[in-house]
Amino acid sequence: MTESRSRNFAVTMRSLPVADPGVPDHRSATRYLWWLAVRTWPSMAAGIAWGVVWMVSQALMPAVIGKAVDAGLADRDRGALLTWGAVLLALGLVQAAAGIIRHRLAVFNWLAGAYRTIQLTIGQANRLGATLPKRLATGEVVSIGTADIGHIGNALDVTARGAGSVAAIVTIAAILFSTSVPLGLVVIVGVPLLMVLVGGLIRPLHRRQQAYRDQQGKLTTRAGDIVTGLRVLRGVGGEATFAARYRAESQALRSAGVRVARVESVLEAAQVLVPGVFVVLVVWLGARFALRGEITPGELVSFYGYASFLIAPLRTITEMIDKMTRGHVAARRVVSMLALRRDLAEPAHPASLPDGDGDLVDAESGVVVRPGRLTAIAATAPEEAAAIADRLGRYVDGEVTLSGVPLRDLPLATVRERILVADNDGRLFSGPLRAELAGPDGDRSDERIAAALVAASASDIVEALPAGLDTVVAERGREFSGGQQQRLRLVRALLADPRVLVLVEPTSAVDAHTEQRIAARLGPARAGRATVVCTTSPLVLDRADHVLFVEDAKVAAEGSHRELLETEPRYAAVVTRGRSRECGAAGRGRAAGAAVRPRADAPAPRRADRRDRPACPRRGRRPGHAPAHRRPRRGDRAGHHERDGRPDRAGHRGVRGGAVGDHAVRPHRLSAAR
């Protein structure tokens, strides 16, 4: 029987997480916790039932012991003594079995609440997409997945023990009433009074826990920003400033934690002192009644057992109040995220696209992307090209049409499926490299991946890995340099194979030789598909089928790269000095971390200078974030290093990533497209 129950429980546990978490009630934290309980009502109801059996069986033990004293010892009846002893043994067995089942159900309820909250949070983050970083700090999202789910799970877990404790107190009060009305009144009046006394500490505890939780989220965000941009901070001399800010916020969090601990310490002391005083009162009254002959010696023993046992349910009820309070605070953070709505609304009456591929047109800038062509956008200001890319992918609304149909009239899922925007803010997730490149639903065949690796000039990266494509990648691809990460992100974008692929500066962190290979292979790899490249690199522009020159957010000229060089002096000035323009806001280019892009007719650099360049940050981003790059290690292959405090060919010392605050983490477009 025990093995069968264990197998059934294991099967139940394997059902988590559920396939569909459902639609949450996020009108308030209380409604959300109630919704979680209702979603798992069979296990919640069973847990409460077994919790009642577990605690009531313990509550009846003092009564059985009292009967054994009166009927067995006082009357010297061995048969009665054995009978009540057997009853006591049976209660012990029932208590043990009920406790095991209750605990397993409580663990299931804990996991169900935590898993469901995580699923809802991840789903909401995916739905919000580019809206999430605008509305909620990264630390808030991280704290939901690390701390809040535990508090929510505890709130569901403690319900079984809490319900059992209430049932035990009611049972003891009924027994005392049947034996002595004054003692029954003491219990009936005293227990609620104790709850009121303890409950007076809950409100200040709730406020201080909320303040601590807010401060914790801010500090988590600050820590993430510092870790992400640590190399940049060291390069620009901002490490000490940010360290001082972190220490100040850390001390503020410590102070908030101390304030919470003060109330919690008083609560812990009250859990011992108040029930203890109550037990002493009950025992004292029972002893007086026994001396006056109003109760028997066995009943006095029972009263002492009740008084001692009452400490456990009272402490459990106090614990339940504490965990419910923490769970309510955590649920409030969750519902605040679930209540967010993305900036881009779904159309009320979704349109459909005609068969075949059509032009992608941005009326605001005049950009026209035709199917089957490699179109390059060279802008005088990088933020203008980024804004066009955002509109083309409908990360912001604009007058953009696909095959004559406005993007705002199409379902977002259709837009994400047809159009993919890939920039340098994408991340490599942890896991096998094959799965990371191909995606969950992509073609993971070696042939397709190998072709994409060749097109992105990234075959050497995989060849250098110990297990090739099966190598497990660390979080954010920390083992790869900036240029390697950029090429792997390009591989991932090519394997996604969208109808329209928009690449924003896809070669800004690689050396000239690698960039030339990528430029030559990108067009054939995307044959038959529309590809847009936002860049000012002459090597890439020379390989484009059509080049659009954007000035003041408008298309000022178009044609081939060579035609524009001859006919448009402004275009020639931008592409021949494009790199210093892009990085001009960050300490006039090279001093802020960007190596000068060589001109098309410049001599090839020496082998010792073939290092991956750090991606230049684009201006006009939300302050507070900086790209993270790893330090080059001895033994890195040529073409895989990054400039980090080494003199470049112009004699300047490169500092990766540009000025602090010029770069923000943009939403991961590739994951949204998939």
Q: pLDDT by residue (tens digit) across 200-252?
A: 767 777 678 778 877 777 787 777 777 767 666 677 777 788 788 888 888 88
- Domain shared by 270 and 382, yes or no: no
Q: Hunting for tokens 């992100």 — which residue is that?
A: 489
When pLDDT is averaged across residues 370-391 and rounded to a whole number, the result is: 94
661 has pLDDT over 70: no
Helix axes 29-39, 41-59, angle to 10 degrees: 90
pLDDT value of residue 482: 86
pLDDT score at 90:
94
- 611-643 pLDDT per residue, tens: 344 444 333 333 333 333 333 333 333 333 343
- Distance, in Å, from the CA atom of 488 to the CA atom of 461, rounded to the nearest integer, reads 9
Q: What is the 3-state secondary structure (H, E, C) of 147-158?
A: HHHHHHHHHHHH
For the chain, give the number of residues: 674
Neighbours of 608 (CB within 10 A): 8
**Residue 8: what pLDDT?**
52
Q: What is the CATH number of the domain that holds 141?
A: 1.20.1560.10
Q: Which residue has the higher pLDDT, 191 or 14?
A: 191
At 600 the pLDDT is: 39
pLDDT digits (tens, 9 = 90+) for 413-462: 899 999 999 998 888 888 899 888 987 776 667 889 999 999 999 999 99
Q: Are 322 and 451 contained in the same domain?
A: no
| Domain that residue 491 falls in | 360-621+662-673
- The total domain count for the chain is 2
User: Which of 338, 369, 388 corresponds to the end of one domain?
Assistant: 338
Compare 655 and 149 and report the one with higher pLDDT: 149
Asked if 98 contacts 153 with a C-beta cutoff of 8 angstroms, the reply is no
* Amino acid at the residue 632: P
In terms of domains, do 383 and 255 share one? no
Mention every residue, 6+ apart, whose C-beta is less than 8 A from residue 487. 456, 457, 458, 461, 510, 514, 518
Residues 261 and 392 in one domain: no
Average pLDDT, the chain: 79
Q: Give the tens place of pLDDT for each residue, 109-139.
A: 999 999 999 999 999 988 888 788 888 877 7
Residue 182 reports pLDDT greater than 80 = yes
pLDDT computed for residue 649 by the predictor: 31
- 370/367 Cα distance (integer angstroms): 10
State the Cα–Cα distance between residues 120 and 108, nearest whole angstrom.
18
Q: Which residues are 663's β-sheet partners?
A: 625
Q: Is the pTM of this model over 0.85?
A: no
Return the CATH number at 604. Answer: 3.40.50.300
pLDDT in tens, 274-322: 777 877 887 888 888 888 888 787 887 887 788 778 878 887 888 898 8
Q: Would you say 353 and 309 are in contact if contact means Cβ atoms under 8 Å apart? A: no
pLDDT tens, position by position, 576-596: 864 434 433 333 333 333 333
Domain boundary among 274, 305, 338: 338
Strand partners, 534: 377, 504
User: Is the per-residue pLDDT at 646 higher than 50?
Assistant: no
Tell which of 303, 338, 373 closes a domain.
338
Taking a C-beta distance cutoff of 8 angstroms, is the pair 153, 326 a contact? Answer: no
Q: Based on the domain organization, do 252 and 371 belong to the same domain?
A: no
**Rounded to whole angstroms, how far apart are CA atoms 658 and 662?**
7
Q: How far is CA 291 from CA 138, 180, 227, 299, 604, in A?
A: 68, 14, 72, 12, 107
